[in-house]
Amino acid sequence: MRLYDFTKYTPLNMQEILEVLDTQEISVLGTIGDSRVNLAPMYYVTSFSNECLTVYMYSKDSGTKIRNMYNNQDVGVEVQGEYKDRRGPVFKSVVVNGRAVISTDSQEIAFVEQKFIKKYGEIPGLCDFSNVAIIRIQAQKVGGRLYNQVSDCK
């Protein structure tokens, strides 16, 4: 098992953040409801245009996540993964804080469906986007960090 020093990090620039978002497949979505944080693994795609990052996800159109978003649109998304660079194994983490809305725009839904097919080769777990909620998260704050592997302390 690799151990990383999470007390020391190097910030990622936007290009590096987008690389993490493009290469990883699963995120963790955090919503707030009933004075509790709800965390859920989610498939996702992104769009980056005019320096604005948007994260898209889908979910069944009822349940805890969706109920929480109707009551509190503030959400967090985290994506992480291990990579190799010239120093050896490194760990990268990206956190997106933003506002979530459920999209009802048919053009946007078609755009998101195509992005999922392009990224995953299909829509994971679905045949199509009927009977699901398309979640659009407009990023308000985005950050990324690179952590190095812990060296032996002998």
Please tell me the distance from the alpha carbon of residue 96 to that of residue 44, in angstroms, as a whole number.
Answer: 12
Q: Does residue 115 sit within a domain?
A: yes
Q: What percent of the chain has pLDDT over 90?
A: 71
Give residue-wise pLDDT tens across range 1-42.
678 888 889 999 999 999 999 999 999 999 999 889 999 999
Instruction: Identify the band that residue 126 occupies on the pLDDT scale cut at 50, 70 and 90.
Output: confident
Q: Does residue 105 sit within a domain?
A: yes
Q: What is the CATH classification number for the domain harbouring 47? A: 2.30.110.10
Q: Does residue 120 sit within a domain?
A: yes
Q: Does residue 153 sit within a domain?
A: no
Q: Please report the pLDDT score of residue 151 as a whole number.
A: 66
Q: Please report the pLDDT score of residue 153 as a whole number.
A: 54
Q: How many domains does the chain fold into? A: 1
Q: Does residue 101 sit within a domain?
A: yes
Q: Please report the pLDDT score of residue 62 as a whole number.
A: 82
What three-state secondary structure class fits 7? coil
DSSP state for residue 8 in the 8-state scheme: S
Map tokens 């978002």 to a residue: 21
Give residue-wise pLDDT tens across range 76-110.
999 999 998 887 889 999 999 999 999 999 999 99
Q: Does residue 3 sit within a domain?
A: no
Mean pLDDT of the chain: 91
Q: Please report the pLDDT score of residue 57 as a whole number.
A: 96
Domain, as residue range, for 34 = 10-148
Contact yes or no for 93/78 (Cβ under 8 A): yes
- What pTM does this model have? 0.91
Please tell me the distance from the alpha carbon of residue 23 to that of residue 49, in angstroms, as a whole number.
Answer: 18
Q: Does residue 5 sit within a domain?
A: no
Q: Please report the pLDDT score of residue 152 as a whole number.
A: 57
Q: Does residue 4 sit within a domain?
A: no
Please tell me the distance from the alpha carbon of residue 130 to that of residue 83, in angstroms, as a whole number.
Answer: 36
Please tell me the distance from the alpha carbon of residue 59 to that of residue 69, in angstroms, as a whole number.
Answer: 12
